[in-house]
């Protein structure tokens, strides 16, 4: 078993986590991710850790897809004067099995309230 890394060692090895980090080549990352050869969480996890988690089915693929969609949306919006609806339409073309409203909910993180909260 591996030991937990100290914060000094981890900071020297990996950059600090930025939750608003935007990848550069998102369509390329999406294709490589579908092939299983890319780590879309490279700012948070090393490639080895990501592949180990994914090979053991410890990563929620739907949440990872949603993260990639949100990053793609931010990139499309920051590239120029693209309107929000145009960016969502572009994502709909990239993910034809998702409806426009679903992509809008992913981008804006609109989810139904969790039933676990009502159990407490």
Model confidence over 48-101: pLDDT tens digits? 998 899 889 898 889 889 988 998 898 888 887 789 999 999 899 989 999 999
Q: Which residues contact 17 (CB under 8 A, 6 or more apart)?
A: 43, 44
pLDDT at 5 over 50: no
pTM: 0.65
> Would you state the pLDDT for residue 6?
40
> Would you state the pLDDT for residue 110?
77
List own/partner pairs for 100-108 with CB under 8 A and 24 or more apart. Answer: 103/69, 106/66, 106/69, 106/70, 107/69, 107/70, 107/73
> Would you state the pLDDT for residue 26?
59
Provide the residue ranges of all domains of the chain, joining segments of one domain with +.
25-111
> Would you state the pLDDT for residue 79?
80
For residue 74, give Cα distances in angstroms to 19, 33, 56, 108. 12, 18, 30, 11
Burial (CB count <10 Å: 0-12, 13-18, 19+), residue 12: exposed
């Amino acid at each position: 078993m591996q030991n937990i890394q100290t914060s000094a060692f981890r900071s020297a090895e990996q950059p600090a986590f930025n939750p608003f980090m935007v990848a550069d080549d998102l369509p390329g990352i999406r294709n490589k991710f579908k092939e299983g050869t890319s780590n879309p969480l490279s700012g948070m996890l090393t490639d080895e850790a990501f592949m180990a988690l994914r090979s053991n089915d410890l990563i929620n693929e739907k949440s990872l897809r949603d993260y990639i969609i949100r990053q793609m949306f931010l990139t499309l919006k920051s590239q120029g004067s693209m309107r929000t609806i145009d960016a969502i339409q572009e994502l709909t073309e990239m993910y034809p099995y998702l409806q426009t409203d679903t992509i809008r909910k992913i981008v804006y993180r609109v989810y139904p309230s969790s039933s676990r909260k009502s159990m407490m």
